[in-house]
Amino acid sequence: MAARTDLVTDPAVVEGLLLARRGQAYYSRALSRLSDADFDGPSLLAGWGRRHLIAHVGLNARALTRLVEWAATGVETPMYASATQRAEEIDFSATLPVQALRNLSDHAAIHLTVEWRDLPDEAWSREVRTAQGRTVPVSETVWMRTREVWIHAVDLDAGARFEDFPPELLDRILVDVTGSWARRREAEGLPRFVLEPTDRALHTVAGPHAAGLDAAGSITVRGSSAALARWATGRGSAGVTTADGEPAPAAPRWL
Ligand code: ZN
């Protein structure tokens, strides 16, 4: 029988689930502010209308649900059959009537949260594979959904802003992005960034501290945590500058 509360007891996962569900509520509120006619407008993501974005976020919940079911049953169910299948499904779903898109958004989100709720404590460390081919414990689906719903809420262009994000979310985004850059720095020749959030005591260095920071070879980018998170995730450089007060260079890609 299905439980009515989460089975997981790991405090980090419990906290993560809270942030994911707050994010889903935040995204759903932004979506509910859009009229049916607004669905045909552009999103803030280059090349994607709101319909594509809304379809993508709903289908992302379904894809993550498949990973949770994989962990629960041991039967391998990937997020997507292929990148082509993923793109085609988004294209198709974007053509659905508005009410069907709203239903996709709501139902997929509920299904995912129910799967999380009913996943036994011992199953949360089981490994699954993401669409990028990374092997991760299924608990990672919580953060994958968290960043998706909060940031795409902003992309809907319906009044959501990075400035509304909880501080712990902004910090986690900065750690995630700079970690991704650090892992790819050598292979892709990325510059080393030092992020200086003006509303935090600690600076975020995009690289391992142990390697020693070469101040001359790094680029300092300064701004509020919200502005830095917006910049680092590729959503514009409003509110960020270099240490000299110059415009910040474009951030490398995140994912
Ligand atoms: Zn996305």
The pLDDT profile of the chain, 255 residues, written as one tens digit per residue, is: 556 799 999 999 999 999 999 999 999 999 999 999 999 999 999 999 999 999 999 999 999 999 999 999 999 999 999 999 999 999 999 999 999 999 999 999 999 999 999 999 999 999 999 998 999 999 999 999 999 999 999 999 999 999 999 999 999 999 999 999 999 999 998 989 999 999 987 766 664 443 444 556 789 999 999 999 999 999 999 999 998 999 999 999 988
Residue given tokens 């935040």 in the structure block: 26
Per DSSP, 133 falls in state S
Tell me which residue of 35, 235, 52 sits closest to 154, measured CA to CA: 235
CA-to-CA separations, 119 to 67, 72, 74, in angstroms, rounded: 11, 6, 12
Q: What is the pLDDT of residue 212?
A: 43
- Taking the centre of ligand 1 as the mean of its atom positions, its distance from the CA of residue 217, in whole angstroms, is 32
The Å distance, Cα 56 to ligand 1 centre, comes to 7
DSSP state of 4: S
How far is the centre of ligand 1, averaged over its atoms, from the C-alpha of 121 (Å)?
Answer: 28
Q: Specify the pLDDT at position 4.
A: 79
Tokens of 119: 């996943």
Distance, CA 151 to ligand 1 centroid (Å)?
Answer: 8
β 218-223/192-197 pair status: parallel
R_g of the chain computed on alpha carbons = 19
- Model-level pTM greater than 0.75? yes
